[in-house]
Amino acid sequence: MPVVASKAPLMQEIELSENIMRPEAPIVKCRIVYMGNNRNRSVCLPGQLQIQHIQTGTDKDGEPVSETIKSAIDEGMQTYDFSSHDSRGRLIEARLMPDTAGKELAGKPFAYSEHLGHIRHFYLEKTADGAKEFKVLAEKKDQHVIQDYVRQFISRQQRDEKDLAEVASS
């Protein structure tokens, strides 16, 4: 079968790299507090935090000096355990918010997260009745980074939904 030549002008096209399509998310450490009453709540999310230790030289005594590089990646899964009790029914005090956290948070189980995609998930997660299932606690210096990331994600999601609706109606 003969190939029909297109009369459309040729364009120089290149494949977009993953870095262009998915901006790097900064690493921030947040405490995720489970606000529900399930004693054995866990959440498994796609993606994980990759930690690399790279030797950058040696110190004055000849000992290796290394730098730790953390990055959020899409591969793998990460599980967050919000269990307040162990398998024998004993309270796991190390996983519970201290009394000094205030009446609303005291005694609630928590886990740490440094993956902004996961932090976003916990920030947006709601129960069936519309209440927030988790509270995300961050240092004041990191709050604007998290808010900007969540805002950008929601904006991108709304833009994608609008584009999809336009394509579907065509």
Q: Where do the structural domains in the chain lie, given as residue ranges?
A: 24-45+78-169
State mean pLDDT over 60-78.
Answer: 88
State mean pLDDT over 44-71.
Answer: 88
For the chain, the average pLDDT equals 83
Going by pLDDT thresholds of 50, 70 and 90, the confidence category of residue 7 is low
E strand intervals along the chain:
30-34, 42-58, 64-81, 110-113, 134-138
Q: Which residue has 């953390």 as its token pair? A: 70
**Residue 78: beta bridge partners?**
45
Is the confidence at residue 112, as pLDDT, over 90?
yes
Helices 116-124 and 140-169 meet at what angle, rounded to 10?
Answer: 80
Q: Which residue has 């507090």 as its token pair? A: 33
Cα-Cα-Cα-Cα torsion 54, 55, 57, 62, nearest 10 degrees, comes to: 160
Tens of pLDDT, residue by residue over 123-165, are: 889 999 999 999 999 888 888 887 887 788 788 888 888 877 7
User: Can you give the pTM of this predicted structure?
Assistant: 0.69
**Residue 135: beta bridge partners?**
33
Note the pLDDT of residue 21: 38
Contact 80, 113 (CB under 8 A): yes
Note the pLDDT of residue 2: 54
Is the confidence at residue 71, as pLDDT, over 60?
yes
Is the confidence at residue 83, as pLDDT, over 60?
yes
Query: Which one is predicted more confidently, 35 or 162?
Result: 35
Is the confidence at residue 19, as pLDDT, over 70?
no
